[in-house]
Amino acid sequence: MADMTGVVPIHLFNGFGNPFGGSELETLAVFELLSQSGPVKLWATSSRAAPALLARYPITRIAPWRGQVPDGGNYVFFGAHWRNRLWPSLVTPPRRLIYVFNTFHPKVLALTARGPAWRRWPATEYVLISAFQKKLLGIEGEVQPSPIDISRFRPRTSSSDRSTDAGRALVVGRLSRDTADKHAPQDLDLYRALLSDGWQLRLQGATILQAHLPVDPALQLTPEGLIDAVDFLQGLDVFYYRTGVHVETFGRVVFEAMACGLPVVCHRHGGYAEHIRHGENGFLFDTTEQAATILRQLQQNPALRSRIGTHARRTVEDLFSPQALQARMTFFRR
């Protein structure tokens, strides 16, 4: 189904429950990009959509009794699905059914492998967020990194550049959801060591660690979302990242840090690793000892921090240029 201009309308579906969630941010980024080339609509599949997102974006809650349902075109789901819902039986079947799959959960694959059994929906097409994820899952699909606005995530201006501040304690930090699975237990000892080595440590989305770390004026633990992501990242000198049981299929925040011109020091097991060239545009480690050594080198060598950060920025400029982003959006418009 196409409109009078021949452009196929696109419907993007998400629960929109967390203003800082990866699938929510990806859905909204895709919405902004697709809006430049034709009709696109946002749908909340959950009654618990965050008020902050509903106020900021033209999101419509699915409500069949009010006639608030999609009416054909390409249906694209991000972190939400159609199974065990009433509304799919009441709407025009999609022209294409696309699922943006950003986890490793096999249960979600089972839930999204087919459209509603009682309706003639097309076969599911998968969009995977990294080659790393595609390989581990062993499924076919289009690989598309989650879009990032590199005009917003950018290095701090020269007027706020603190690289030449003599005697200043360097700042290492990270941000994530404030949940246990996002934090590796091994990092607690590393954080204590960094404080002893004279770093300032800023961890956003880490209040869950409060009881396990010392009270120290050089340590700042804040809830997720307290500080705007751009402002937070531009206040760092080095970005550090490792997760717990959660495995990052992509690691959007790593690329946001690279876009801000930061040297990133990341655990090797994650989708972001395929874009990090160790010692050139960032660093990868396997053990806590390796991470500590890399951070010590960065602490002692401002030229190294500058060089790695510059190359990190160039990497994301290639990956998320306006031309590259729009080229990837053509997949959804077919």
The helix-helix angle for 302-319 and 288-300 (nearest 10°) equals: 110
Among 117, 144, 171, give the residue marking a domain's end. Answer: 144
Q: Are 272 and 251 in contact (CB under 8 A)?
A: yes
252 and 313 share a domain? yes
Instruction: For the chain, give percent helix, strand, coil, nearest 5.
Output: 35, 20, 45
pLDDT for 5 beyond 80: no
Question: How many domains does one find in the chain?
Answer: 2
At residue 2, the pLDDT reads: 52
User: Are the C-beta atoms of 230 and 175 separated by less than 8 Å?
Assistant: no
Answer whether 122's CB lies under 8 Å from 97's CB.
yes
Residue recorded with tokens 């430049």: 36
Are 92 and 233 part of one and the same domain? no
Q: Looking at the whole model, is its pTM more than 0.85?
A: yes
Alpha carbon distance 246, 58 (integer Å): 31
- Domain assignment of residue 312, given as a range: 158-319
* Rounded to 5°, angle at Cα 109 from 103 and 112: 115
Average pLDDT, the chain: 92
Tell me what the mean pLDDT of segment 111-118 comes to.
78
Which one-letter DSSP state was computed for residue 234?
H
Q: pLDDT tier at 6 (50, 70, 90 boundaries)?
A: low
Residue 329 lies in a domain: no
Which of 176, 229, 183 minimizes the C-alpha distance to 205? 176
Dist CA 81 CA 69 (whole Å): 14
Which pLDDT band, with edges at 50, 70 and 90, does 4 fall under? very low
- Pair (220, 280) in one structural domain: yes
Q: Which of 102, 121, 144 is the last residue of a domain?
A: 144
Write down the residue that tokens 């699975």 correspond to. Answer: 181
Percent of the chain topping pLDDT 70: 95
Q: Do 314 and 171 share a structural domain?
A: yes
Could you read off the pLDDT of 241-296 as tens digits, one per residue? 999 998 899 999 999 999 999 999 999 999 999 999 999 999 999 999 999 999 99
Q: What is the mean pLDDT of residues 18-38?
A: 93
Report CA dihedral (136, 141, 143, 145) to the nearest 10 degrees. -90
Asked if residue 149 belongs to a domain, the reply is no
Percent of the chain at pLDDT above 90?
A: 77
Contact assessment for residue 200 and residue 172, using Cβ atoms and an 8 Å cutoff? yes
Is residue 283 within 8 Å of residue 265, measured between CB atoms? yes
Alpha-carbon span 64 to 67, nearest angstrom: 5
- With respect to residue 150, please indicate whether it lies within any of the assigned structural domains: no
Secondary structure class of 38 (helix, strand, coil) = coil
The per-residue pLDDT for 79 is: 87
**Domain stop point among 111, 144, 177:** 144
Domain co-membership, 239 together with 290: yes
Are 171 and 206 found together in one domain? yes
DSSP 221: E
Do 47 and 164 lie in one domain? The reply is: no
Residue-wise pLDDT for 117-136, tens only, equals 677 899 999 999 999 989 88
Whole-number CA gyration radius for the chain: 21
Phi and psi angles of residue 170, each rounded to the nearest 5 degrees, phi first: -75, 155
Query: How distant is the alpha carbon of residue 8 from its chain centre?
Result: 27
Q: How far is CA 59 from CA 11, 82, 328, in A?
A: 11, 17, 23
- Across residues 176-196, what is the average pLDDT? 96
Residues 122 and 254 grouped into a single domain: no
Tokens describing residue 169: 């304690």
Kindly indicate the confidence band of residue 1, based on its pLDDT and cuts at 50, 70 and 90.
Answer: low
As a whole number, mean pLDDT of residues 32-43 equals 95
